[in-house]
Structures are given as C-alpha cells and as structure tokens.
Amino acid sequence: MTVNVTAKKTLIEKIWKGHALLGESPLWDYRTSFLYWVDIENSRLYRQKTDGSGYSSIDLPAPAGSIALWHDGGLIAALGQGLFHVNPDNGTVSSIATELADDSCLMNDGKADRSGNFVFGAKHLKECDPVAGCWRYQSGQITRLEQKFIVFNGPAFSPSGDRIFFADSPSQKIMTASYNPTEGITTEPEVFVQLFGNDGYPDGMTVDSEGYLWNAQWDGWAITRYKPDGTVDQKIDMPVQRPTSLCFGGEDLKTLFVTSASTRLSPKELAENPDAGALFQLNLDVAGLLEETITK
C-alpha cells in the first residue's frame, strides 16, 4: 500500500562539513558524550562532541561497516570480513574473530540488541548475490543467524527487545521478526514496510522510546518514521540524496544524528546535493533509547 504523507519541515543542521564517501553507523557514546561514525570506503573512524569539539579520526586496517559500544571502553567493529575491538584513543585494533565472511563479502551494518549482544551483517561486494551472512556476538560466542542477504542493513530492536527490524536493501523491504537475545530470530521474517521507486532503498535504522522505527532512505532524499504497524508517521526531507544511517544522542536523547554518502554519484548528482557525505543533526520532540554496551 502506498501512503502519501506531507514531508515535515524540520531544522537540519550540518555539524561536520567533510565529505565521506560512505558515512555510516553513527553511534552516541553516553559514557563520554562523543558521537562516533565511520566512512566505510575510506576505512576511517571519526568522533566529535556535539559542539564540534574533541574532533579526531583514525585510519582502520579495513572498511568498517558498523560499530557498537564495548563494555570496558572503546568500540566493537564489524571490520573487513571479521569482528574487532577498536581503541579510539590510541588507534589500536585487535582481532576478536577473522574470516567470518568470505572474500565476496564485506561487513556492513550492525547494532547492539537490548541485552548487550552485537548483531551484525555483511554485504555482497557486487550487490547481486544473496550470499551475505548475519551474526550475533554474545558473551564471547559468535552465532550465524542467517546467510541469505545481498546487502544487510539495520538492524534495530523494539524497546522491549522482542522484535528485530532489518533490511535486505536491494529488495526495498524492511523486514521484522520475533527476536530472543539468547536464541536470535525466532520467527520467519515478514515484510514491515515495502518501498517503491523513488522512495529509495532502506538503509540504517533505529527505534525511538515510543517504539516507532526511523529509517534512512538511500536515494530517497529522506528519513521516515514508521508507526509500530508499519504505516508512515512522518517523512523528513533531507538535503542529500543518500542519507545512510541515524542514531539518537545528546543529553536528553532528543537529537537525531544522520550520516550520508557521496559515493558513486555522477557530477550532475553531486552538483544537485553538494552536502553529500556530510553529517547532520535534527532536534526532535521524541527521545531515543540508550545504546547498550556489548558484554564480553
């Protein structure tokens, strides 16, 4: 079903004027008040405070698809074909597990579930074969959940943690299923949202404190908030063609941070959205949820 919703006018502030090729995985660290994000294609990790202070970046040994908070400081990263610990203070990267994905894939999106497990997936490099996997890191153990994706994006979890949302982006579908932190996905995934045509492709997502799903829509020039039944609550126009992911942060968790991409855009497309690859923030009336730290 197609729903026509008037796009909401919201103040959108550019808070980093760089141009990431593939900005992704924004992450608010409530422990330090740093915002982290990555540029996958440039293999870099960035961080800064909301006022722009404390800015720094480090080179990574491989493209990092996603990051999450590590229990004793630092980050866990789905990096290259494996999983690693990253210390952003000194730039050290140590292996947790290598060669989870085969050479035809790279790690992509991931997020902590409500119990402190890291759920992360991969993408097929040529974006044509459904061979990319999805895994869960839980207390030192890694379990494969699925291996049938072209490009795994998301995931996001309901406030109670009993539902998971994710996308196989080329299908233009956001899926949902029952989820258990010890068993993983426990029911057959079903379609939560079907996008069409100029809607773009579902990319990164997060759930707010009211249980509504926010999704960045690659090539859709927008982010959209969905009600728990999958209908559109509001759509916010973005100044970039390819918003990639989003997260809540700030002291009251009412700031939405949005990453974007400039990769594979033609000169004409770049001229039409000169802020492609920048980082943005929006101040909202609804709060998000604190990100869990990954338990060792």
Query: For residue range 34-70, what is the model confidence (pLDDT) as tens digits?
Result: 999 999 999 999 999 988 999 999 999 999 999 999 9
Which residues sit opposite 38 in a β-bridge?
Answer: 24, 45
Binding residue per annotation — 4? no
Conformational region of residue 154, where left means phi above 0, alpha means psi within -120 to 50, and beta covers everything else = left
- The pLDDT score that the predictor gives to residue 5 is 43
Which residues sit opposite 75 in a β-bridge?
Answer: 69, 86
CB 201 within 8 A of CB 216: no
Q: What is the pTM of this model?
A: 0.95
Binding residue per annotation — 24? yes
- The pLDDT score that the predictor gives to residue 9 is 60
Please give the span between the terminal C-alpha atoms of the chain, in angstroms, as a whole number.
Answer: 43
What are 173's two structure tokens? 């579908």
Mean pLDDT, each 10-residue run in order, the chain (296 residues): 46 94 98 97 96 95 97 95 96 95 96 98 96 95 93 97 97 97 94 97 98 98 98 97 98 98 96 96 97 92
Active site residues: 203
- The pLDDT score that the predictor gives to residue 105 is 97
Binding residue per annotation — 251? no
Binding residue per annotation — 108? yes
- The pLDDT score that the predictor gives to residue 296 is 81
List, in order of start, the domains of the chain with CATH numbers: 7-294 (2.120.10.30)
Q: Is the dihedral of CA 10, 11, 14, 15 positive or negative?
A: negative
